Amino acid sequence: MKYAEITGWGSYVPPLLMTNDDMSKIVDTSDEWIFSRSGIKQRHYAHVSVGKMAWLACDRALAAAGVDPEDIDLIILGSTTPEEICPNTASYIKNELGAKKAAAFDLNSACTSWFYGVNVATDMIKAGSIKKALVVGSERISLAMDWQKRESCFLFGDGAGAVVLEASDKKVGLLSSHMGCVPDSRECLHLPSWGMSPLHWTGDIFISLNFEGQEIFKSAVRGMSDSISHVLEQEGLTAEDIDLFIPHQANMRIIQTLAKRLNFPMAKVVVRIDEYANTSAASIPLALCDAIADGTVKPGMTILTATFGAGLTCGAGIIKWGERVTAKTISESEIPEYDGSVFDLMADSFAHYGVDAQHLLTKNP
């Protein structure tokens, strides 16, 4: 039987920061108010597209795996914020990488998109239809923030994370997984008119996230707990057998509640929400890449992951890590930095939502 080993990993985090103190200059909030409710200290905002961020994360993952782009059979982009509905953004990534023979498609299940993509690619490798795949989560959710909603505009950040999956005879990679969708919970987290409905609407786009915090909290914890129980039972494991837990980074309270339900020590939980906020589909791969970089991920570890997103989609998986935790090579590719402040970058967005931030713009001579 074939398995799908994670052989490469890479990420891109935009250099521009929007700290909680910066946020308080835009909306009626404070660092203490935000951090106490979410665990977030800052978020990164992108000056380039979802596809460009994904390209660099994938390029770095390929270098870490020592795999030539032309050997990739499939590229899956998990994202809620693709550049276009048609054609898909994955085809842009394919072309930028030079992955000539690769099939490419986008997958949108909101924050669960990257994990669902890993599940799909793993099953295809196990079935023998492909041998090598790239799965990337990339989001530019800063474009969708309604600056008139203090309860949700601070929650999200931008970034991209990718992995290379390769067919292996060793029992490694995503061994067990469960994907689900909490019934009758679709309306508690959604972006109305984020798509092609109504088809003939030609007015100015005014994106505003509908966010029902308490209902999301309850449904997310329930959905992830059920999925975790399913995969633990499937593998014949208990929480004590798990070496590391990498959950979706949506809210510190959700992470802590989930760990408590599992009787899982926070010392074994990877938490990066303070640094990145909620990066949706990029959340877990960003946390994974950081955990590899700082030595938290060790050879042979049994890793649990769990996620939820709008829908409310949810899922969990058991990953058996291989022997390698260092990159074979390092990509030299880069994205030029933005020449300006985060307030310059977001000036059009602030103005669109009626926020007066002119006094915060950089005065360049």
- Residue 201 confidence (pLDDT): 47
CA distance 63 to 60: 5
- Residue-level pLDDT at 189: 58
pLDDT score of 220: 81
- Lowest average pLDDT, out of 91-100, 130-139, 254-263, 272-281, goes to 254-263
Q: Which of 199-213, 233-247, 320-334 has the lowest mean pLDDT?
A: 199-213
pLDDT greater than 90 at residue 198: no
At 92, list the tokens: 């842009």
> Stretch 37-44: mean pLDDT, rounded?
96
Q: Is the pLDDT of residue 207 over 90?
A: no
Of these residues, 20, 248, 251, 289, which one is catalytic? Answer: 248
Contact (Cβ atoms closer than 8 angstroms) between residue 155 and residue 141: no
Measured distance CA(243)–CA(298) in Å, rounded: 9
Mean pLDDT of all residues in the chain? 90
pLDDT at 202 over 70: no
The more confident residue out of 9 and 359 is 9
Give buried/exposed letters for 191-215 (b at 16+ CB in 10 A, else e).
beeeeeeeeeeeeeeeebbebbbee
| pLDDT band with cut points at 50, 70 and 90 for residue 147 | confident
Instruction: Tell me the mean pLDDT in the region 19-23.
Output: 95
In the chain, count H helices and then E strands.
Answer: 11, 13
At residue 150, the pLDDT reads 82
| pLDDT for residue 205 | 54
pLDDT of residue 364: 44
365 band by pLDDT with thresholds 50, 70 and 90: very low
Instruction: Say what the pLDDT of residue 196 is.
Output: 55
Residue 153 confidence (pLDDT): 86
Q: What's the mean pLDDT in 143-153?
A: 83
Summarised one tens digit per residue, pLDDT across range 256-295 is: 999 998 889 999 999 999 999 999 999 999 999 999 999 9
Cis before 87 (ω within 30): yes
Confidence of residue 358 (pLDDT cuts 50, 70, 90): confident
Convert 162-186 to b/e letters by CB count within 10 Å (16 or more is b).
bbbbbbbeeebbbbbbbbbbbeebe
Q: What's the rounded Cα separation, in Å, for the pair 46 and 168? A: 36
Domain range list for the chain? 3-356
pTM of the full structure: 0.93
Task: Summarize pLDDT for 42-58 with one digit per residue, the tens.
Answer: 999 999 999 999 999 99
> Which of these is catalytic: 47, 278, 289, 314?
278
Catalytic residue among 44, 47, 111, 119: 111
Q: Which pLDDT does position 192 carry in this prediction?
A: 60
Write the secondary structure of 260-306 as one string of H (helix), E (strand) and C (coil): HHHCCCHHHECCCHHHHCECHHHHHHHHHHHHHHCCCCCCCCEEEEE
What would the mean pLDDT of 225-249 be, rounded to a whole number? 95
* 172-186, 189-203, 315-329: range with highest mean pLDDT: 315-329
Is 248 an annotated catalytic residue?
yes
Look up 178 and say whether it is catalytic: no
pLDDT higher than threshold 50 for residue 223: yes
Which is the CATH superfamily of the domain at 3-356? Thiolase/Chalcone synthase (3.40.47.10)
Q: What are phi and psi of 142, to 5 degrees?
A: -55, -25
314 catalytic residue (yes or no): no
Q: Treating both helix axes as pointing N-terminal to C-terminal, what angle do 252-262 and 31-38 enclose, rounded to 10 degrees?
A: 30
Summarize the confidence of residues 12-34 as an average pLDDT.
95
User: Does residue 94 surpass a pLDDT of 50?
Assistant: yes
Residue 301 has pLDDT above 90, yes or no: yes
